[in-house]
Amino acid sequence: MKEELIKIEELIGNFDNIEKSDIKDLMQRLFSKLGNRLEKYVGDYPTFIEPVYLEDNVKIGDDVLLGPNVYIGANSEIQDYVEMSNTIIFENVIIGENFKLENCVVAKGSSFKFNNLNMKNSVLIGETKSKDELQSKKF
Amino acid sequence: MPIDKEKEIERIKEVESINLAREEIRDEVIETKKAVEKDNELLANRVHQKFKDNNIKSFDIVGAIGAGKTALLEKIIEKISSQYRTLVICGDITTRVDADRIEKHKAETVQINTGRECALNAYHIHQIIKNKDLNNYDLVFIENVGNLICPSDFILGTDKRLIVVSTTEGEWVVEKHPMLFKMSDIAVINKIDLKERLGTDVDKMISDAKKINLKIEVITTSAKTGENIEKLMNLMGL
Ligand SMILES: Nc1nc2c(ncn2[C@@H]2O[C@H](COP(=O)(O)OP(=O)(O)OP(=O)(O)O)[C@@H](O)[C@H]2O)c(=O)[nH]1
Ligand SMILES: [Mg+2]
């Protein structure tokens, strides 16, 4: 699993070439190996559809639905009403209220401090308080 | 919708009672509740269509906490897993206990932990099958979160719904929970091996179930001794 995560992180570092990369295959490969790790989070009782893998100190808000196929890196925060499937969140990320992410990757350290976003098949990066400043790239 | 209204509706949904809605937003709360039910039904229909398109037989198993849903499934799957490619979806508030028990009998499993929700809904099932190649299965079982109340709000899109209660819950358990018996196809009264010891009036349970739902098939079983498991499988068409 670590191996795919490292490769995916490298790929999204080269933001402009993401469409042409083999990110989809890599994500599939990661998800096929993904196990459960559900014990180490802080917060409310979300709904998990396995597999969901949470690194240490992930914060989760109310009424959140995670899975199937979700990886969340250490110290990331998922706010209320968020829903995600087939998605990778790297470490130290903030995901705002009522985000709906399907087949997405969020880069390390990103922080989206606004509500309501619906995204599919995209890489997301940025530190923003509004939807307009969000950097995203479809794949 | 303004955020305070949204919060209020969330709160009402949580306590599941429109009676607690403030007068000014009562209509909206009712509309929201109706919309949720309708969305679930649409999704359940879509789930059922996908199962049918792939020639999959599907069953949703509801029932009291500890009545023996998983134990019965273990018995059934033990007998058929070499014959049918089986997917079992297990719903529980937390843990992977049930899925691990089922997996011992060589069926594929997916565990859903509902956290604070007391029933699975069609959206959960849809999310799972969207990520599976349904060509790979002949049979899907869904074990709902154990309780006799909440699952009546959400159909899941299976061919048949089984309801499991047992002799340990007392002979009044059927008449006290008519809703789920109304919407089930087969009622299983399990732990029949304990009937004498407990003195449970099983005949009353059977006649209550039939009174509530004229069409329901009722069967007594023991997942411990294996009594009537084959008969139950016949009723299920397995
Ligand atoms: N004597 C006897 N015990 C049974 C029978 N069926 C199940 N049990 C026992 O009852 C307990 C609960 O059984 P489960 O199969 O976990 O019940 P469940 O309905 O799946 O429970 P939840 O998923 O927690 O709601 C276990 O200890 C089983 O061994 C039966 O027919 N006879
Ligand atoms: Mg069980």
**Predicted confidence (pLDDT) at residue B15 exceeds the cutoff of 60:** no
- Centre a 10 Å sphere on the Cβ of residue B98 and count the other Cβ atoms it contains: 21
Specify the DSSP element, H or E, that contains B10: helix B3-15
Whose tokens are 């154990």? That residue is: B146
What are B58's two structure tokens? 């599907």
Average of per-residue pLDDT across B99-105: 97
pLDDT of A67 > 90? The answer is yes
CA B164 to chain centre: 9
Rounded Cα distance, B88 and B60, in Å: 10
Percent of chain B with pLDDT over 90: 83
Do A27 and A86 form a contact (C-beta atoms < 8 A)?
yes
Cα B40 to Cα A52, B34, B37, B61, B155: the distances in Å are 24, 10, 5, 18, 7
Q: Are A84 and A98 in contact (CB under 8 A)?
A: no
- Say if residue B17's pLDDT is above 70: no
Chain A CB contacts of B114 below 8 Å: 47
pLDDT tens for B153-175 read: 899 999 999 999 999 999 999 99
Ligand lying closest to the C-alpha of residue B167: 1
Instruction: Give the ipTM.
Output: 0.93
In angstroms, the separation between the Cα of residue A61 and the nearest Cα of chain B is: 12
**Residue type for position B147:** N
In this prediction, residue B27 has a pLDDT band, given cuts at 50, 70 and 90, of: confident
Question: B122-147 in b/e burial notation, b at 16+ Cβ within 10 A?
Answer: bbbbbbbbeebeeeebebbbbbbbbb
Give the H or E element holding residue B4: helix B3-15
CB A18 within 8 A of CB A12: yes
Nearest neighbour of B112 by CB, restricted to A49, A69, A86? A49
Burial (CB < 10 A; 0-12, 13-18, 19+), residue B181, is buried
For residue A85, what pLDDT is reported? 98
Ligand 1 neighbours by CB, cut-off 6 Å: B 63, 65-71, 98, 146, 190-191, 193-194, 222-224
Give the model's pLDDT for residue B21: 75
Q: Percent of chain A, pLDDT > 70?
A: 100
- Candidates B118, B113, B122, B112; CA nearest to B155 is B122
Apex A134 CA angle, A131 and A136, nearest 5:
125
Q: Residue B131: which of A36, A48, A69 has the nearest Cβ? A: A69
Which residues of A are less than 8 Å from B117 in CB distance?
Answer: 47
Question: For A69-115, how does the pLDDT look when each residue is reduced to its tens digit (9 = 90+)?
Answer: 999 999 999 999 999 999 999 999 999 999 999 999 999 999 999 99
User: Interface of chain B against chain A, CB under 8 Å?
Assistant: 10, 93-94, 96, 110-117, 124, 127-128, 131
Residues from chain B that touch A38, judged by Cβ atoms under 8 A, are 113
Interface contact flag, A45 B116, Cβ < 8 Å: yes
What local confidence, expressed as pLDDT, does residue A18 receive?
A: 86
Average pLDDT taken over every residue of chain B: 93
Q: How does residue B145 score in pLDDT terms, banded at 50, 70 and 90?
A: very high
Number of other residues whose CB lies within 10 A of the CB of residue B171: 19
Written in H, E and C, the secondary structure of B126-175 is: HHHHHCCCHHHCCEEEEECCCECCHHHHCCCCCCEEEEEEEHHHCCCHHH
Residue B24, pLDDT > 90, answer no
Helix-then-strand count for chain A, H and E: 2, 15
Domains of chain B: 55-235 (3.40.50.300)
Domain definitions of chain A by residue range: 36-129
CB pairs under 8 A between A and B: 39
pLDDT interval class at A15 (50, 70, 90): confident
DSSP A49: E
Task: Please give the mean pLDDT across all residues of chain A.
Answer: 95
In this complex, do A85 and B94 lie within 8 Å of one another by their Cβ atoms? no
**Which of A46, A68, A85 lies closest to B115 in CB terms?**
A46
Domain A36-129 indexed as CATH 2.160.10.10: yes
| Band (B13; pLDDT cuts 50, 70, 90) | low
> Out of A38-47, A61-70, B53-62, B124-133, which region has the weakest mean confidence (pLDDT)?
A38-47
For the whole model, what pTM was predicted? 0.93
Kindly determine whether residue A47 and residue B117, on different chains, have CB atoms separated by under 8 Å: yes
Residue B57 tokens, joined: 């037989």
pLDDT number for residue A21? 84
pLDDT at B227: 98
Cα–Cα distance for residue pair B66/B2, rounded to 1 Å: 43
